[in-house]
């Protein structure tokens, strides 16, 4: 097992990147394209949380991590809303 938290974080980032690559390369039907975009955005949000928590050390500061999590979640929701609205235009 990997005991170093940075190596585990790196493994998570590689795994999440492979998942987002797989989602983007999959041949989605036209009706499910918004779902694919939402999945890729969600995977990017998870990657950002790993980077903030492990690499920037916010796991040791729960107050700051909560603030960054809220700000990041609101930003991703804004991006998701814009993405879904642009698909309707």
For residue 5, the model assigns a pLDDT of 86
What pLDDT digit, counting tens, does each position of 60-80 carry? 999 999 999 999 999 999 999
pTM of the model: 0.87
**31-50 b/e with 16+ CB inside 10 Å = b?**
eeebeebebbbbbebbbbbb
For residue 87, the model assigns a pLDDT of 83
**Residue 9, SS3?**
helix
What pLDDT digit, counting tens, does each position of 48-57 carry? 999 999 999 9
Among candidate residues 61, 70, 52, the one with its CA nearest the CA of residue 9: 52
Backbone CA torsion sign across 42, 82, 52, 11: positive
């Amino acid at each position: 097992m990997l005991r170093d938290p940075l190596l585990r974080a790196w493994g998570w980032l590689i795994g999440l990147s492979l998942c987002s690559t797989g989602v983007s390369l999959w041949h989605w039907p036209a009706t499910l394209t918004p779902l694919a975009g939402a999945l890729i955005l969600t995977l990017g949000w998870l990657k950002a949380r790993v980077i903030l928590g492990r690499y920037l050390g916010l796991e040791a500061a729960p107050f700051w991590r909560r603030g960054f999590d809220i700000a990041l979640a609101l930003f991703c929701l804004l991006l998701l809303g814009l993405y879904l609205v642009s698909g309707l235009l």
